[in-house]
Structure 1
């Protein structure tokens, strides 16, 4: 991302996710906070420590900005971020996990939450985790494209060539693309909640932007200026049959589900 790096003490990192900028350790373990804690005291002691490990600070660490320190015992200090003592979850099975947030009272720590998605969108549980879905519960997909050339230029924006997308989703036929991968329409009266989620006008024949109100143009939802889709092969809410479609499991020229939480597939879909 464009901008200065976050002000983090040594031993921490930030992971950009679809739900926000997640705080982690330098080894990519998710960091959590406990609702019963206070800035100067920890309620996680005794049996609690069998499941949760305080994120301890080195001997020479000092408070800075949003970061302070809590002395758990003589010589053992725990990092505190914005008044929240920090922990890792001993039962997490993979990096950047959200599984610890299933435990009542515990939650992942974020430096910054992601902008809110449209109010009509929903969240659906799938075989692998939670996805963003439209008002009917259909999984939402995002198109990714990188030109197969030395410079690897992006080709997933409506202002870019649509040759790759049309070839992938319909063998070059716009009608087949619309049948297999329909755009997510914005209902009358809906408006963009922020600059991340916007409503755009698209010419369905070309896939390019169209003038608002132009004959045949569709008013659709876009994520970061790129239209989002559902998949015609999904039969019921929670289906992710279209996930990972295309080259490199959808990363080079294809579509991937809009994951809010991926517990099992590790980015495959």
Structure 2
């Protein structure tokens, strides 16, 4: 495993263990190994735990996360609102969540907070039905899965 990937996994493991809600699970590190941690559950099912599985960044039970080319990494804002956010639900942060390591927070147009990874706001795709689906990859040439 490359040093950079290991560092990211360690930071994510620390973050996911900071405010666990009591549910312990084993997480795949995407390299065939396991990483143990607690997933953080916020109000309304909003979670702040991500990990790499089979080479994809995932959250909420293995749902694939995406980035949007029209966002600007590090801007602290999302370019996907309104109808866009219906098709591409943002990965929302629980009130009081804080950035740590490669995970950050962006403020949405409605004032809610959205998780970011290396500055890119994170989204799910409404067309993904189960863990591991990545049906939103490269839609319109502007939506992309996140790989290590």
Matched, 1:90 2:126: yes
Superposition pairs of residues 110-125 of structure 1, within 5 angstroms: 110=147, 112=148
Cα distance per residue 1:179-230 (max 9 Å; x no partner):
xxxxxxxxxxxxxxxxxxxxxxxxxxxxxxxxxxxxxxxxxxxxxxxxxxxx
The match for 1:45 among 81, 87, 91 is 81
Superposition pairs of residues 177-256 of structure 1, within 5 angstroms: none
Cα distance per residue 1:4-63 (max 9 Å; x no partner):
85322433242432xx2x211132110000000023221111221221101011112111
Relative to total residues, which structure has the larger strand share, 1 or 2?
1
Where in structure 1 are there 5+ consecutive unaligned residues?
113-269
Matched, 1:33 2:37: no
The match for 1:6 among 10, 13, 19 is 10
Q: Whose Rg is larger?
A: 1
Matched, 1:107 2:111: no
Report the aligned-residue RMSD. 2.2
Matched, 1:72 2:76: no
Relative to total residues, which structure has the larger helix share, 1 or 2?
2
Query: Which SS does the other structure have where 2:63 is aligned?
Result: coil
Where in structure 2 are there 5+ consecutive unaligned residues?
16-39, 41-46
Name the CA distance, whole Å, in 2 between partners of 1:58 and 1:30. Answer: 19
* Count of residue pairs the alignment pairs up: 107
Contact 1:15 1:96 in 2 (8 A): no
Change (3 A) 1:43 1:14: same
Structure-2-length-normalised TM-score: 0.63
Q: Which residue of 2 aligns with 1:210?
A: none
